[in-house]
Structure 1
Amino acid sequence: MARAATTADAFNAVAEPRRREIMDALTHGERPVNELVELLGLAQPHVSRHLRVLREVGAVDVRDEGRQRLYRLNPQALKPIHDWVSSYQHLWSVRFELLEDVLDDLKQEDTHSQEGAGQWHRQAAAPWTSPSPVMRKSSSPAPSTHPGTSSTGPGPRPSSSGSGGPAGGAR
């Protein structure tokens, strides 16, 4: 299937990263081509070519002021993109709510661990183990780990013949 022309619609026009950079620069107001060239570090013909594409799809407007041409965004032309992306907003909302729940759980765990800080003691453990099984409350079982975590940490365990383990060779 043939690829759509970049000037067919706003979706195709903003697919190019340099055009999005130009549009980002225009969010601060009108700018002449030379200012965009300096700001983006591109050659003037390249910036002019990108502006032409954006102008043809209606994403930017141009007006002459003396010898300068000033470009500005036309947000109405971007409405189809906004409308399309908005249809996915519910997915982001659900993900952010789930993330908020996880953060709340972590805050509660942190609060509970700080409340009993005076009752915690350090148990002998190998240096490759994670902190959760190392720190244990003397009157309760070890804290549970989060899904997807390991009590042994990444990578293989060192051999028992090497140094650095706890005294007496207990692992």
Structure 2
Amino acid sequence: MKLDQSYFRKDVLEVAPDLIGKVLVRVFDDGTTEKWQITETEAYRGEEDEACHARKGRTPRTEVMYAEGGAVYVYLIYGMYWLLNIVTGTKDDPQAVLIRGLKNIDGPGRVGKALQLDKSFYGENIITSTRMWIENGSEKLQHSTSPRIGIDYAPDEWRLKPWRYTIAD
């Protein structure tokens, strides 16, 4: 039921929409386990993508994006929210899926807060982790696409790409 390495080795434009309806599992420090259906994702695709953190190449912040698919990429925004991204694709091809929403949790900052993310998740392997992983959902859900949001710094060519995926109403 847990997604394997081969799943995350695929291109981000295949993985991001397919994660809609999958189940994110989090085992907390006190031993409790929570499961949420993934409801919204965004794709970021390599150094050529002007909205992607890897657009400027390898940096200490983006180094994990150059790992093989399945690595966790977390980063802090506004000094208070850890955002969850899952690296996809092959080694040295920086791609990642931002998990923007879970069932009843809208927004990537709220997702990070609910999951109690922190810097310790940076680089963790989502396949072998004992504290967070992704499983298949019970059914394949339809999704809709729209432009990515929160990336006003990117040129229109990249900002307007329909690489945001949400459960279809």
Range class of TM-score, shorter chain: under 0.3
Larger RCO (CA under 8 A, 6+ residues apart): 2
Greater C-alpha Rg: 1
Higher fraction of strand: 2
- What TM-score results when the alignment is normalised by the length of structure 1? 0.20
- What TM-score results when the alignment is normalised by the length of structure 2? 0.21
